[in-house]
Amino acid sequence: MAPNLTYALSATGLLLVLPLAMTSCSTFESSESNPLLQTWNTPFGTPPFDQIHTEDFEPAFATAMERNLAEVDAITAITDAPTFDNTIAALEKSGNDLARVSRVFSALTSSATSDELRAIQSRMAPRLAAHSSTITLNAELFARIDDLVSRQATLGLDAEQARVLERTHTRFVRAGAKLQGEDRARLAAITEELAGLSTSFSQNVQKSAEAFSLVLKNEADRAGLPDFAVSAAAQAGADRGMEGQHVITLARSSFEPFMTFSTRRDLREALFEGWTNRGDNDDEFDNEKNIRRILQLRLERARLLGYADFSAYRTSNTMAGTAQAAQNLLEEVWTGALAKADAEANRIREMMRKEGAGHELRTWDWWHYAEKARAAFYDLDEDEVKAYLSLDNVLRAQFAVAKRLFGISFTERNDIPTYHPDVRVWEVKSAAGAHVGLFYGDYFARPGKRSGAWMSALRTQHGMGDGSTPLIMNNCNYNKPAPGKPALVTMREAEVVFHEFGHALHGLLSNVTYPSISGTSVDYDFVEFPAQIYEHWMRQPAVIQEFALHHETGEPMPKALLDRVRAAANAQSGFDNVEYIASGLVDLAFHGITDPKVLAELNVNAFEDEVLAKAGKPAAIEMRHRSPHFLHSFAGDLYASGYYTYMWAGVLDNDGFAAFEEAGDIYDNGLAKKLYEYVYSAGNSRPAMEAYVGFRGREPSTGPLIRNRGLDAGNSSGD
C-alpha cells in the first residue's frame, strides 16, 4: 500500500502542508543565477536536476515566497468588487515558483537525500508553514472569497468554477480563516510547530532505519535464503560501502524475503526487532515525544476550529463524513479478518508441530511458516513465481493495460535530466499522438531514499493560460539486481507497481482547468481508489499470461502455476487485514482522545497495547505500522486519523472492478470511458461519491471486498 505522503503538496498557489519553508537570506536578485528560478530550457520544461545544487534551495525558497506574497497582496489591493477572475482565478495562478521549487526539493528529500538536505528541511519546515498561514489567515483575502460565496448564485459560474470556489472557501475555513484575535495567532503558531515536528518525525524514522543493518557473516547466517535474496543482500552491502558482505536492511523488499525464507530463527527475531522498533529505541531518533506533542497540538487545533477531537475535524471533509463511519467499516472487516487469521495460525502451528518446533508462534515466525504452509498446501514456490515476474515486464504490462483502457502510449526518453541514474522517464502520448506528460519511475532501494512506495508530482496538470502538462513520478524500494541480472519481483510487489501507477494515471490523465482540483487533489479517502482498482488488472489471467514471461526462456507462466498462484491469493489475507486494521484502529484511537491531560502523560506503547487488547488482536500478529514509525499518521496531516482510507477505497475498488467482471470484459470500452471521465481525468471537479456513482451507476457495496479477500466466513456481506 502506498503512503503517498507527497500528496501534501497542493496543486494551487497555496502550499498547504509540505514541510518546507523559506529563509530570510535571499532577495529577488538571486533569481538571475539560481537554476531553480530560471526558465528551464530542458525537454518539456523538466527540472534540470544536473544543474541544481543543495545551496540553491534556501535562496530560491526565499525569493519564491516573496513573489507569492506579492501576488496575494496584488489580489487584496484590487478596489473593484470581487469576481471569480480577479480573486479565485488569480489565486489559482499564484505561487507557481514556490510550487516548482518545493516539488523538486520534495523529490530529493524523499529519494536522494543527504545530511545537508535534511538540515535545510528542518530549518524550512516551520517557516513555510508560517508562510502558508500568512495566506490562509489573510483577512482581506478571505473576505473576498467569502463575499463570492455569499453571491455565488448570481455569478454565472460553470460547474468547475463553482466547485473551485466551494473547495477554496472550505480550505480557508478549515485553515482558520474565520478565527479572530488570539485564536488566529495561536492557530498559526500550532501550524508552524506541527510542520517542524512532522519533519523531525519522518527524519527520525529514516535515520533509525538507516542505522540498522543485519550483516550475514557466513554461510550459516544465510541458511535457507534463495539465490535472489542472497544476491540482493550482496548488492545491499555494496550500496553501503561494505563490498563483499551480505547485508539485510529495513527496506521491505529486503526484510520480507529474509523473514520468509531464513531458517535462522534468532536472526529473524533480531531483524523483526529492528523493523518494529524503528523510531522507538530510546536514542536520538526516538519519536515518542514527537508523537505526544503532535497529538496535543492537533487536538488544540481541532478545538479552536470547533471540533471535539482531531478525528472529527479530519473526517468531516471526507467521503466517510465521521470518524465513527470509518471505525464501523474497520470493525466490520475486522471480524472476518480475525476468523481468517485464526485459521491461518492453526495451519501454521500444524506445520510447526510437524517440524518439531518447540516454541510458540511469534510474529517473527509467521512469514517463515506461512510460506512453508502455503508452499505445501498450494504446491507453490515463491522463487518459481518470481522467475516469471521481471520488473521490466511488469512495467510493460502496466503500460499495455493503460493503452487498452485509455488509449495512451509510453515511449522511454533518455534526454530528460534526473536526480539519480536509476530513474527512468517515459513520454506519454494520447491515442491521437498528442503529448500528455512525462512519467518518471524510480524503483530500487538505496541509501538516502525513504522506505515504501509512493507517487508524487514534479508538475501538475492545469488548463489556465498556456496550460501545463504533468510530470508524474513513481517510487518503489525493490532490491537492485547485480549488474547484468534482471530485477525479479513477487506477485505482491508487481501489484504494488500497478498500485502506484494507478496513482500516476490519476495525475497524468487529469483534464481540468484549475490547479487546485487537478489530479490527486481529491478527498483523501477517495485518493486510493484509482490506485487500488488498477491493481486488479495485474491479477487477471490475460495480463499474466501475456507479460509473466520467464526471465531466461521467455516462456509464459504455465497455466498450472498461474492457477496455483490465483488459488493462493488469499492464503495470508487474515494476517494482512489484521495487521493493517490494527494500525487503522490505533490511528483513529489516538486522534479521538479529547483530554489534553491524557495526551500530556501519554505512554505511546501502552496506549497501543490497550487499544489492540480491547479489539482482540492476536498476539502473533503485530500492527503493520507501530506508532513511532507510522509515517502516515505522524509525518504530516494527510493520512492522520485517515489510515482507514485504504479499506474505504478497498470497498470502492472491489465493487468498481466487479463492474468489469459483470461485463465479461476487463477492458470494456464503455466502462473504461466512464472510469476515465468520472475518475482519472476529473480530479476534484465533483464530490467523490458523485464521481463514483457516475462511473459505477450506483453507490458501492462492501460485499465484493469481503468476498475477494476471503473473509466471508462468519461475516455478513454488508450489502
**Tens digits of residue pLDDT in 570-589:** 999 999 999 999 999 999 99
Coil/strand/helix, residue 459: strand
Instruction: For residues 460 and 480, state if they share a domain.
Output: yes
User: Are 48 and 195 in a shared domain?
Assistant: yes
Mean pLDDT of the chain: 93
Asked if pLDDT for residue 101 goes beyond 60, the answer is yes
566, part of any domain = no
Amino acid 628: pLDDT = 97
Q: pTM for the full model?
A: 0.92
* 232 and 99 belong to one structural domain: no
Q: Does the pLDDT of residue 703 top 50, yes or no? A: yes
What is the predicted pLDDT for the residue at 716?
34
Query: For residue 703, is it within any domain?
Result: no
- When pLDDT is averaged across residues 308-334 and rounded to a whole number, the result is 96
Of 146-150, 349-353, 510-514, the poorest mean pLDDT is in 349-353
Q: Is residue 317 part of a domain?
A: no
Residue 489 lies in a domain: yes
Residue 717 has pLDDT above 60, yes or no: no
Taking alpha carbons only, the member of 17, 293, 348, 351 closest to residue 174 is 17
Find the largest Cα–Cα distance for the chain.
Answer: 84
CA distances from 313 to 125, 193, 301, 305, 584 (A): 23, 19, 9, 8, 17
Scored b (16 or more CB within 10 A) or e, 371-387 reads: bbbbbeebebebebbbb
Task: Tell me if residue 500 is catalytic.
Answer: yes
Q: Which of 332, 382, 500, 579 is flagged as catalytic?
A: 500
Q: What is the pLDDT of residue 73?
A: 98
The residue among 538 and 719 whose pLDDT is bigger is 538
Q: Which of 162, 187, 207 is the last residue of a domain?
A: 207
Same domain for 154 and 254?
no
Q: Do 136 and 251 have their domain in common?
A: no
55 Ramachandran zone, left/alpha/beta (phi>0; psi -120 to 50): alpha
Integer Rg of the chain from CA: 25
Residue 592 lies in a domain: no
Q: Where is the domain boundary, 176, 207, 238?
A: 207
Q: What is the CATH number of the domain that holds 455?
A: 1.10.1370.40
**What is the Cα–Cα distance from 471 to 508, expressed in whole angstroms?**
7
Tell me 222's DSSP state: G
Question: Is residue 579 a contact partner of residue 621, using CB atoms and an 8 Å limit?
Answer: yes
pLDDT at residue 3, as a whole number: 36
Name the pLDDT band for 217 (thresholds 50, 70, 90).
Answer: very high
Do 136 and 88 belong to one domain? yes
pLDDT of residue 30: 55
Residue 86 pLDDT more than 80?
yes
**Predicted local confidence at residue 9, as pLDDT:** 32
Residue that wins the pLDDT comparison between 2 and 300: 300
Dump pLDDT digits (tens) for 487-514. Answer: 999 999 999 999 999 999 999 999 999 9
Residue 284 lies in a domain: no
Share of the chain above pLDDT 70, in %: 95
17 and 110 co-located in one domain: yes
Could you read off the pLDDT of 359-412 as tens digits, one per residue? 999 999 999 999 999 888 899 888 899 999 999 999 999 999 999 999 999 999
Comparison of pLDDT for 564 and 713, the residue scoring more? 564
Number of domains forming the structure of the chain = 3
Q: CA torsion sign, 149 to 152 to 153 to 158? A: negative
428 and 504 in a single domain? The answer is: yes
pLDDT computed for residue 638 by the predictor: 85
* 147 shares its domain with 244: no
Nearest to 97 by CA among 465, 517, 456, 459: 459
Per-residue pLDDT averaged across 42-52, rounded? 97
| pLDDT tens, position by position, 422-472 | 999 999 999 999 999 999 999 999 999 998 999 999 999 999 988 899 999
All cell numbers assigned to 158: 460553470
Cell readout for 257 is: 524475503
Same domain, 89 and 137: yes
What phi and psi values does residue 686 have, to the nearest 5 degrees? -150, 160
Residue 26 has pLDDT above 60, yes or no: no
List, for residues 525-536, the tens digit of each pLDDT value: 999 999 999 999
User: Is residue 478 one of the residues assigned to a domain?
Assistant: yes
pLDDT above 50 (res 67): yes
What confidence tens digit (pLDDT) does each residue in 229-270 have?
Answer: 999 999 999 988 999 999 999 999 999 999 999 999 999 999
Q: Which residue range forms the structural domain that includes residue 233?
A: 213-262
Q: Is the pLDDT of residue 7 over 50?
A: no
pLDDT of residue 712: 81
Q: Domain for residue 555, yes or no?
A: no
Q: Are residues 444 and 524 in the same domain?
A: yes
Where a domain ends, among 160, 190, 207?
207
| Whether residue 234 is found in the same domain as residue 114 | no
